[in-house]
Chains A and B, each alone.
Chain A
Amino acid sequence: MSAGAIRAHVDVPTGTGRTTAWWGMVMTILTEGTLFAMLLFVYFYLFSRAPEWPLGDIEPPELLVVSVRTALLFASSLTMSVTDRAIRRGRTGLATTFLAGTIMLGAVFLVGHVEEMLRMPEEFTWATNVYGSLFYVVVNFHGAHLLIGLVMLAFALVALRRGRYTPERHEGLKIVGMYWHFVDVVWVFVFPTLYLLPHVTAP
């Protein structure tokens, strides 16, 4: 096939408006956000019907380690924003450093999550009562989304190192960043619900 036999003879505008990828990520976040909202609805619904919270003889969760992890996760949103700014100004090296930093912070959070999942069953499991069921299911839902976010960030890092992103064209990095911010925002709701609330309501 003869390439370019029929080619543009006027300039086609580019870079105007939101791309299909941007719209797709917004819609994905909309439906995933609804999923988490429903999960938290389930939590508060069952909490509102429970005689005590936590149910049974379960102690409220430890706060120290998870607070540090929370701070790291929120910091990762900041480093992600810096990455986004850096690539828009064409500073690929800076973007690479901060993206790697974002991945590091996220990975440390996830390691803490796994450590918690291995440690917690000594106190209670998902089969102990519905408080346990909620704790494990909600936390692991978030953990799974975080893992997916990390894989996406890793992809973006490889693409960044191969020079696929320029100040004009960095849509992939931007939408991966949107997903990462989304996972962090979910934690803004999950952390107080799962970790702080039981301390407030414990007898």
Chain B
Amino acid sequence: MSILDPTADSPQQVRQRLTETWSDPYGTPGFFSTVDHKRVGHRYLVTSFVFFLLGGVEALLMRTQLATPDAAVLNPDLYNRMLTMHGTTMFFLFLGTIIAAWGNYIIPLAIGARDMAYPRMNALSYWVFLFAGIFLYASFFVGAIPDGGWFAYVPLTTDYSAGLAMDFWALGVVFVGISSTVGAINFIVTVFKMRAPGMTMSRLPLVVWSTLTTSFMILLSFPAITLAPLLMAFDRIVGTHFFDAALGGDPLLWQHLFWFWGHPIVYVVFLPPIGWLYMIIPTFTGRPIAGYNWAVAATVATGFISFGVWVHHMFATGLPDVTASFFSVASLGVSFPTAVAFFVFTATLWTARRIRWTAAMLWAVGALVSFVIGGISGVMVAIMPFDWQAHDTYFVVAHLHYVLVAGNVLPMFAAFHYWLPKVTGWMLDERLGKTSFWVTTIGLHVLFFPQHWLGLVGMPRRVYTYPAGLGWDVANLASTVGGYMFAAGVLIAMGNFFVSWRRRAPAGSNPWGAGTLEWATTSPVAPYNFAQIPEVHDRYPLWTLDGDVVDDPVGIAPQPGGVVLADEHHETLETVGLDARLGGVLAMPGPSYWPFWTAAATFLCFFGFLIQNPITLTLGLVAVAATLIGWHHGHLTGGEH
């Protein structure tokens, strides 16, 4: 099918024009006004990683304090604050945003689109995330670091936390939730409307399926993490009584709302990384994923069941047995689709023609193997009598960290090693990549495995120290040593990045011989992604039926008869229906400052609420309204929408 005829011009001329149309303005104006999904993706990557390092430093401080009995590295108050910020940073500013980072960068490329469905909303979601992160970390500079735990249980966080500390937490969490919601809507519409012609839902790359599923989960679970901290902020600042048992409120309400978000979020941060592995493992085994339909079914089923498990965080709160039993069964049930996903991986590896053990592949398989431990301890704590014993002990800490580190952090490094050549245009060093893998992964197990044992012998979580002679000393020391080893592995991986940056070994468009569309364009990706929007007939369009790489991948050179788009506006194709029929040409908005200003105005609102200054709050609201009107002014004047 051809929409536009490039025969009038040479491919070089076409690319030249497309580059002029899609490039951002040079320098500072471009920096603040860009709406390019790739630049937004870069920013998400860098910013999330910075928060990962901050959260890691907080964790190391805690681990250092716990290395020996009766240590005095952190005082109890500071320990609480580090505990709170470690959990808050990792959950809200890293785990959830690193998936947005790769989602932003990879998804439009993997579905053969030129941008996200709402480019300006995309920029907004990044700026809001950045401002929310700054808001939360501003608490360090005014000496009001949140201290009520990242789970923020009331009344610890209402009656017993004075000053602004938990106000920073509550409002910061609401703030960052806006970013996730905006991003989720964008991903859903992008997947439904922007797929290349012929990319039916059954040809969708699995990373897109997992991001689509998690986006729906975000839309249905994030309202709880908007509502709960907002009600907490009202209780703390305005004087309502939602969580105040003396005047009709209920502290348990907090746990219901928090965990209604808090449990699905575990799958939200775990499913997209599983999606990355679904992309990486077929590439290095040289065969399509085994059981594609099973993988899709497992992804969607995990999404559904994850909403029926939140009460398993509350087995020890004295709920009726019937209620608890239901949630116990649901929590056991969620392990079935996860097991299916693992069988899919196993089958793919089993039937491989030849496994190439690159650094990316090592990280991916290491993640799978490590995750199994977290999965098994999850089945254990889903069983109520066991949970009553293990609840609030280090066993739960071990389980939680196995699931999250093996389910998100290790896949993140796998994704770095796999996709960075596409992002940067140069290869990472394989030897350093493998070294960092072994150091990090062995560190992970030395760090968290002893914590199972610590929990079983009764060490409670969230304590800042412990006396000698309880039999906890050796395991704690080992755990701390593992923590430093893990950190060393992360530093080696970062060193790899900088060394490879200096070396700049060219990557070429498809260094791994992968089969999906993001490898069909240049590395680094041109501003317009694809000169020619590819037409898709297969799950692995760059592979022949025998699994060999197609010599001349689609999309790089515009060819007569190919689907090429005009060069006047940001134009891309719109497709219709689940089978992605050609729907029309969409004119996308170009660079805009409004997303930045809207996010800044939102910051002003939250700041006004924080300092309880009605004038600032009102100014902020007026500013938000003004920026949104400016944003949509084009609707009225007939400009681009």
Which A residues are within 8 Å of any B CB, using their own CB?
A: 1, 3-10, 12-17, 19-20, 23-24, 27-28, 30-32, 34-35, 37-39, 42, 45-46, 49-50, 55, 126-134, 136-137, 151, 155, 158-159, 162, 164, 172
B3 touches A8 (CB 8 A): yes
- The distance in angstroms between the C-alpha atoms of A10 and B181, with both chains bound, is 38
B638 touches A27 (CB 8 A): no
A133 touches B567 (CB 8 A): no
B248 touches A46 (CB 8 A): yes
B9 touches A6 (CB 8 A): yes
Contacts of B117 in A (CB 8 A): 20, 23-24
A55: shortest Cβ distance to chain B, in Å? 5
A20 touches B574 (CB 8 A): yes
A6 touches B5 (CB 8 A): yes
Q: A9-B4, A31-B185, A133-B242 are in contact. Are A155 and B250 (CB under 8 A)?
A: no
B574 nearest CB neighbor, chain A only = A20
Q: A1-B21, A20-B574, A127-B241 are in contact. Are A30 and B219 (CB under 8 A)?
A: yes
Which B residues are within 8 Å of any A CB, using their own CB?
A: 1-6, 8-9, 14, 17, 20-21, 117-118, 181, 184-185, 188-189, 192-193, 219-220, 222-224, 226-227, 231, 234, 238-242, 244, 247-250, 253, 256-257, 260, 564, 566-568, 574, 576-577, 581-586, 625, 629, 632, 635-636, 638
A27 touches B185 (CB 8 A): yes
A and B contact pairs by CB, cutoff 8 A, 7 listed: A1-B20, A8-B585, A24-B189, A27-B189, A128-B247, A133-B242, A137-B231
Tell me the total A-B contact number using a CB cutoff of 8 A: 163
Contacts of A17 in B (CB 8 A): 574, 576-577, 583
A37 nearest CB neighbor, chain B only = B223
Contacts of A12 in B (CB 8 A): 3, 582, 584-585
- The distance in angstroms between the C-alpha atoms of A10 and B574, with both chains bound, is 16
B227 touches A39 (CB 8 A): yes
A6 touches B17 (CB 8 A): yes
Please pick, from A6, A38, A133, A151, the residue contacting B8 in the complex, using a CB distance under 8 A: A6
B636 touches A158 (CB 8 A): yes
- The distance in angstroms between the C-alpha atoms of A4 and B223, with both chains bound, is 46
B193 nearest CB neighbor, chain A only = A20
Contacts of B584 in A (CB 8 A): 12-16
Contacts of A129 in B (CB 8 A): 241, 247-248
B249 nearest CB neighbor, chain A only = A130
Q: A12-B585, A42-B242 are in contact. Are A162 and B636 (CB under 8 A)?
A: yes
Contacts of B238 in A (CB 8 A): 126-127
- The distance in angstroms between the C-alpha atoms of A126 and B220, with both chains bound, is 28
A159 touches B240 (CB 8 A): no
Contacts of B118 in A (CB 8 A): 20, 24
B192 touches A23 (CB 8 A): yes
- The distance in angstroms between the C-alpha atoms of A155 and B241, with both chains bound, is 38
